[in-house]
Amino acid sequence: MRSLIYLLPVLLFGAVIAAFAIGLGRDPAILPSTLLDKPLPTFDLPAVRDGDVGLKSSDIRGQPRLLNVFASWCVSCRFEHPVLLALKARGVPIDGLDWKDQAAAGARYLIDNGDPYARVGNDQPGRTGIDLGVAGVPETFVVDALGRVRYKQVGPITPDDWTRTIAPLMDRLRAGT
């Protein structure tokens, strides 16, 4: 019986390694979004800044737009932020969803780092995040003119992701409408 206790570490370790091996086979950046080709869930979020408009799901339509989920406590978002600012400068419409974050902290983050968003909604309870299937921040949804999710990027958008994947998709969506 006692020797079974000594066997425990190696058994646990085997399970961990198996999980790693499976995890390694998956790219954490490619996640099937259950929302793919479906309309955005309905939400109506308050603003992060006083006197600002919030963000409603009905705002995100009319033309292909990006919906970027961020938070002031998220380190990767700070790395992604300059890319978003550059996209805004090129006229790409981006809306922001400040996830699990205090509105004031989100507002400070935007003052500090610049504001790439057309509209920003605050989702402090994280409910809308759950509806959207948000796993972590940053995440970015490409939404078409009819308000349907067409693509989901997990993790920061790098300039490479933009030129290779997201820009061509948005061009196609724009041409289609």
Partner 1 sequence: MTAEIGQFALILALALACIQAGAQLWGASRGDGALMAVGRNATLLQAVFVALAFGCLAALYLSNDFSVALVAQHSNSAQPLIYRLGATWGSHEGSMLLWVLILAIYGGAVAVFGGTLRETMRARVLGVQGLLGAAFIGFLIFTSNPFTRLVPVPADGGELNPILQDPGLVFHPPILYLGYVGLSIAFSFAVAALIEGTVDEAWARWVRPWVLASWLCLTVGITAGSLWAYYSLGWGGWWFWDPVENASFMPWLLATALLHSALVLEKRGALISWTILLAILAFSLSLVGTFLVRSGVLTSVHAFALDARRGVYILAIIAVFTGSALALFAWRAPAMRTGALFAPLSVEGGITLNNLFLLCATATVFLGTFYPVFVEVFSTDAITVGPPYYKLTFIPLVLPLLLLAGLGPLMSWRRDDLKTLARRVMWPAVIGVIALVAAALLFGPGKILNVLGMALGVWLIASAKLIMLRRWRVGQVGLGQSLRLARATPLAIWAVALAHGGLGVTTLGISGVTAWQTNKVLSMTAGQQVALGGKTVTLDQVRIVRGPNYEANQARFTVTGGWGGARTLISERRFYPVSQTHTTVAGIGFGALGDVYISVGDADPNGGLVVRLWDHPLVGWIWGGGLIMALGGALSLADRGWRRVVVRRRVPTAAQGVPATA
Compute the chain's Rg from CA coordinates. Answer: 19
Residue 90 makes contact with partner 1 by CB under 8 A: no
Complete DSSP assignment for 83-112:
HHHHHHHTT--EEEEEESS-HHHHHHHHHH
**Contacts for 86 with CB less than 8 Å, ≥ 6 apart:** 159
Q: How many chain residues are in contact with partner 1, going by CB under 8 A?
A: 40
- Decide if residue 37 touches partner 1 (CB under 8 A): no
Here's the x/- map for partner 1, 123-152, by CB under 8 A: it reads as ----------x-xxx---------------
- Asked if 6 touches partner 1 (CB under 8 A), the answer is yes
- Residue 88 engages partner 1 in binding (rule: CB under 8 A): no
Query: Smallest gap, in angstroms, from Cβ of residue 133 to partner 1?
Result: 8
Give the DSSP H/E element, type plus range, for residue 55.
strand 55-56
Tell which positions 49-78 bind partner 1, by CB under 8 A.
73, 75-76, 78
Query: Does 118 interact with partner 1 (rule: CB under 8 A)?
Result: no
Contacts by residues 51-57 (CB-CB < 8 Å, ≥ 24 positions apart): 52/120, 53/119, 54/119, 54/120, 54/121, 54/122, 55/95, 55/96, 55/97, 55/119, 55/120, 55/121, 56/121, 57/147
Nearer to partner 1, 137 or 166 (CB): 137
Q: Name the residues that contact partner 1, by CB under 8 A.
A: 2-3, 6-7, 9-10, 13-14, 16-17, 19-29, 31-32, 73, 75-76, 78-79, 82, 108, 111-114, 133, 135-137, 154-155
